[in-house]
């Protein structure tokens, strides 16, 4: 926002085909120091729908078999922010140009948009281990995309099993603050022809380990 550059206004208009955050992810995973937390404040919500799903990644990891835990603990995930393969050869800005009213911008010069993080992350405050996966993960370090894809697909499906998730129903004035180090989230796009306006702040994080 012009007067508040730390606040991102997230707007979905009735004519938009897609929404912002409409896939399972954890914020800024492509950064070397991903966002620790995200604060989202509802300014205008649709008459129905527009909820956000959250998934507990502590439980996602803890429910894996011992063998899968060992395998995942040995892997590092390569995470992309600006990934033309994901967008059919287009930049993120080009891909969303005719699908969403918000104006996506190209990354600032010098901003790192590809990072490598452990697939199993240790929370620096609780000491618990969490599965650290989301839509930014494209392959594993020292592995090809073809080799990586079956395991990524399995873990993505596993990571948001119903028993790990909750659904937040927004009202005007609702505020949510979540920990990106142990959760994923998904903004549901189920309110055609209506407007949803949110204000978002991301909180600086640290290097995953």
Report, as residue numbers or ranges, the catalytic residues.
Answer: 25, 27, 185, 200
Compute the distance between CA of residue 117 and CA of residue 180 in angstroms, rounded to an integer: 14
8 A C-beta contact, residue 13 and residue 101: yes
Please give the radius of gyration of the chain, using alpha carbons only, rounded to the nearest integer.
Answer: 17
User: Residue 65, Cβ neighbours under 10 Å: how many?
Assistant: 8
Compute the distance between CA of residue 69 and CA of residue 65 in angstroms, rounded to an integer: 6
8 A C-beta contact, residue 140 and residue 76: yes
Can you name the residues that pair with 104 across neighbouring β-strands? none
């Amino acid at each position: 926002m012009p007067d508040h550059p730390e606040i991102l206004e997230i707007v979905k208009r009735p004519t938009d085909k897609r929404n912002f955050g409409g896939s399972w992810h954890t914020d800024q995973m492509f950064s070397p120091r991903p966002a620790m937390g995200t604060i989202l404040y509802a300014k205008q919500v649709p008459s129905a729908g527009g909820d956000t799903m959250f998934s507990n990644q502590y439980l996602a990891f803890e429910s894996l078999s011992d063998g899968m835990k060992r395998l995942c603990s040995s892997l590092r995930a390569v995470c992309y922010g600006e990934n033309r393969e994901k967008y059919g050869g287009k930049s993120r800005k080009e891909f969303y140009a005719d699908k969403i009213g918000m104006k996506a911008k190209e990354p600032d010069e010098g901003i790192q948009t590809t990072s490598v993080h452990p697939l199993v992350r240790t929370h620096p405050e609780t000491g618990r281990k969490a599965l650290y996966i989301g839509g930014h993960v494209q392959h594993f370090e020292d592995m090809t995309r073809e080799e990586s894809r079956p395991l990524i697909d399995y873990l993505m499906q596993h990571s948001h099993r119903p028993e790990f998730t909750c659904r937040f129903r927004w009202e005007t004035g609702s505020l949510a603050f979540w920990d990106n180090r142990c959760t994923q989230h998904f903004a549901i796009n189920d309110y055609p022809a209506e407007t949803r306006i949110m204000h978002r702040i991301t909180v600086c994080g640290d290097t995953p380990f």
